[in-house]
Amino acid sequence: MSPYGESQWVRNLRNAGTGELSRQGRVETFQASEVPVERRPAIIAAYRQACRRDVDRYFIRLPDLKDHPVFRMDPTGGRGHG
């Protein structure tokens, strides 16, 4: 989810439809699908609860949930070391 709104990574992910996440030398590829606006409230609420201090200012600046893209990430099985 993007607390910053329409960022470059959001546009890139929409365009590519796939991405990679890396952590501690491990890379996982995923297929991305954008969550429709009407299904975002519960996801955004959970995100804000978990990250409140770090993200509240972005939701004050952009209070409309439609301004915060949310993606579902489904693993594609491409895993390995970076």
Q: How confident is the model at residue 32 (pLDDT cuts 50, 70, 90)?
A: very high
pLDDT higher than 70, residue 14: yes
Are residues 77 and 25 in contact, defined by beta-carbon separation less than 8 angstroms? no
Tally of structural domains, the chain = 1
1 inside domain: no
Domain residues for the domain of 72 are: 8-77
18 inside domain: yes
* % of the chain exceeding 70 in pLDDT: 94
Q: What average pLDDT score do residues 6-22 get?
A: 95
82 inside domain: no
34 inside domain: yes
3 inside domain: no
Q: What average pLDDT score do residues 76-81 get?
A: 65
* Helix (H) or strand (E) segment spanning residue 42: helix 41-61
Give the model confidence (pLDDT) of 45-68 as tens digits: 999 999 988 999 999 999 999 999
